[in-house]
Structure 1
């Protein structure tokens, strides 16, 4: 190959690599955007229809940790399917979903206070005044835990408007 052809071939490789990298970043960003731009009233996995990624909402109160629910212990509530670790947790939830279900449908209350809906991660959570809150980021959880009243006042004011834009 001539030096000129080698130079041109090198650019093609660089362009192909750049295009591949760009495609990967666009795909990764769109996946994050799809998770962040959820339009359901309760955060659900868009492929399975399972609420809060299959985590047991009652376990946060009873076991004080995030526990994956089991397929054997499911219950429909609010148009979505919830999973539980055992029959007792399922019974508690069915009797009082307004207590055990995550507030703001599992959306991050910090973002709700800002006027946007961003799906909470079941691994980042806080129980405040006997209510469960899920957060999209660990930093949001820490900020909320430091001053929940400040964020809840704003989130509670904005939630009714945001909720109207979400699919029932």
Structure 2
């Protein structure tokens, strides 16, 4: 009986010790852009004077006010899918980096997208079925959120 209990405890511990793989290119979420500013329909670069850490991830902000708003309610501002491209998560079940100036606020949540080399995945997202893509991305994210990006 004791080996079984030990095995269950080890399994439970490993489940709780897993952390989400966030896209922290340049050492910060959203490539160092201010995640609060997106909710004002602006993509603003963060300033090194205004930073904080939440869930092991560093964030930059364009102002002290935005930093304080984030600290009061970080879950409101954290990008979906760890800050990886929402379209790639939905379509390819793959973590792809983003262009921090390509974003969408939908149902009070922040989605970031890849936009380079003639491929604007935000346009693709909007031209296809955003609701269906969001549902697929939500489902796919559950299977890959703990896997580190290659």
Per the TM superposition, whether the score is higher than 0.5 is yes
The aligned counterpart of 2:112 is 134
Structure 1 residue 145: deviation in Å?
Answer: 2.5
Q: What residue number does 1:148 align with? A: 130
Q: Which runs of 4+ in 1 moved over 4 A?
A: none
TM-score under structure 1 length normalisation: 0.69
Q: Which residue of 1 aligns with 2:143?
A: 161
Matched, 1:44 2:20: no
TM-score, normalised by the number of residues in structure 2: 0.77
Which one has a larger percent helix, Structure 1 or Structure 2? 1
More strand by proportion, 1 or 2?
Answer: 2
- Please show how residues 66-145 of structure 1 align to structure 2 within 5 Å: 66-113=43-90, 114-137=92-115, 139-145=120-126
Contact 1:56 / 1:85 at 8 angstroms: preserved in 2? yes
Q: Across the two proteins, how many residue pairs are aligned to each other?
A: 125
RMSD between aligned alpha carbons? 1.7
2:16 matched to which residue of 1?
none
Structure 2's unaligned 5+ residue stretches are 1-19
Q: Give unpaired runs (5+ residues) of structure 1.
A: 1-39
